[in-house]
């Protein structure tokens, strides 16, 4: 099995690409979903966030006020770094558990949907392939304004927290241009899927797993023979 890192800027259309991949039966691990799970009320990460950011980031229900927390971290690189240091270890452990599960189910590859893949350079070294969902910067800004209801100034501030999407282009092995319509995007995803399916990159890990399994069976068989 091998890993495929999928990323893109805010409002680049990554969710559209993920939905198509899921339709094709691909194993996709969504870092955003996990990020929400690891900060739920009562988790260790939740407690650390409240300790460092205070009760002002809580709703009346006691859950995190994501909009307020988002406004804080997007206006302060230091606080954004602090939040990442709290949440990333739990996120990475959860992603590893899911990856192992998919490996046991026999998937050839797993797609890790990581919004800040190219910002977190230490993760790219684990990826056999990296994929960038791209749209031109102007389209990205307009989409985010329509989707979020934020002002242009607020949108630009949030985009500034990520690498400019154009600067990610040379970092990716594959690029899906989502500037057009869904059908155009779908054709590109199908081409990518066919390329990944035909890859033999999964063989080394699978051979290693079989070798280990055979070794364990041989060892157990030898022990049983001695006992008998």
Percent of the chain with pLDDT over 70: 87
The CATH number of 31-106 is: 3.40.50.300
What is the C-alpha separation between 87 and 44, in angstroms, rounded? 9
Q: What is the pLDDT of residue 221?
A: 60
Q: What is the DSSP string of 98-158?
A: HHHHHHHTT-SEEEEE-TTTTTSHHHHTT-SEEEEEE--HHHHHHHHHHHH---HHHHHHH
Q: What is the pTM of this model?
A: 0.79
Q: For the chain, which residues make up each domain, given as ranges?
A: 2-26+109-200, 31-106
Question: In the predicted model, is pLDDT for residue 205 greater than 80?
Answer: no
pLDDT tens digits, one per residue of 102-161:
988 989 899 999 988 998 778 888 899 999 999 988 888 998 999 888 888 888 888 887
Instruction: Read off φ and ψ for residue 185, nearest 5 degrees.
Output: -65, -40
Q: What is the Cα–Cα distance from 34 to 97, expressed in whole angstroms?
A: 11
Q: Do domains 2-26+109-200 and 31-106 have the same CATH topology?
A: yes
E-strand ranges in the chain read 2-8, 27-30, 109-113, 129-134, 174-177
| Structure confidence at residue 204 as a pLDDT band (50, 70, 90) | low
User: What per-residue confidence (pLDDT) applies to 120?
Assistant: 76
Taking alpha carbons only, the member of 55, 53, 35 closest to residue 43 is 35
Q: What is the pLDDT of residue 214?
A: 54
pLDDT at 218 (0 to 100): 65
Report the range of poorest mean pLDDT among 25-39, 70-84, 193-207, 214-228: 214-228
The three-class DSSP label of residue 56 is helix
pLDDT the model gives residue 150: 85
Task: Share the mean pLDDT of the chain.
Answer: 87
Are 140 and 147 within 8 A, CB to CB?
A: no
Supply the pLDDT for residue 106: 86
Per CATH, the homologous superfamily of domain 2-26+109-200 is: P-loop containing nucleotide triphosphate hydrolases (3.40.50.300)
Helix, strand, or coil (residue 27): strand
13 Cβ neighbours under 8 A, 6+ residues apart: 133, 135, 143, 178, 185
- Sheet containing 27-30: which strands, arranged edge to edge? 27-30, 109-113, 2-8, 129-134, 174-177
């Amino acid at each position: 099995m091998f890993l495929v890192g999928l990323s893109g800027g805010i409002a680049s259309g990554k969710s559209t690409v993920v939905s198509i991949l899921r339709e094709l039966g691909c194993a996709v691990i969504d870092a955003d979903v996990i990020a929400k799970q690891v900060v739920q009320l009562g988790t260790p990460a939740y407690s650390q966030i409240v300790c460092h950011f205070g009760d002002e980031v809580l709703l009346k229900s006691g859950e995190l006020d994501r909009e307020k927390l988002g406004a804080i971290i997007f206006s302060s690189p230091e606080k954004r770094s602090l939040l990442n240091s709290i949440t990333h270890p739990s996120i990475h452990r959860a992603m590893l558990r899911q990856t192992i599960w998919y490996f046991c189910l026999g998937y050839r590859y797993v797609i890790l949907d990581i919004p800040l893949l190219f910002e977190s350079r230490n993760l790219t070294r684990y990826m056999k392939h990296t994929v960038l969902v791209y749209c031109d910067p102007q389209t990205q800004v307009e989409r985010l304004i329509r989707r979020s209801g934020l002002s242009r100034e607020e949108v630009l501030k949030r985009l500034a927290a990520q690498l400019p999407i154009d600067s990610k282009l040379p970092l990716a092995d594959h690029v899906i241009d989502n500037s057009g319509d869904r059908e155009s995007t779908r054709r590109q995803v199908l081409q990518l899927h066919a390329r990944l399916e035909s890859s033999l990159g999964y063989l080394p890990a699978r051979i290693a797993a079989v070798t280990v399994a055979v070794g364990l069976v041989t060892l157990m068989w030898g022990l049983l023979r001695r006992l008998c």
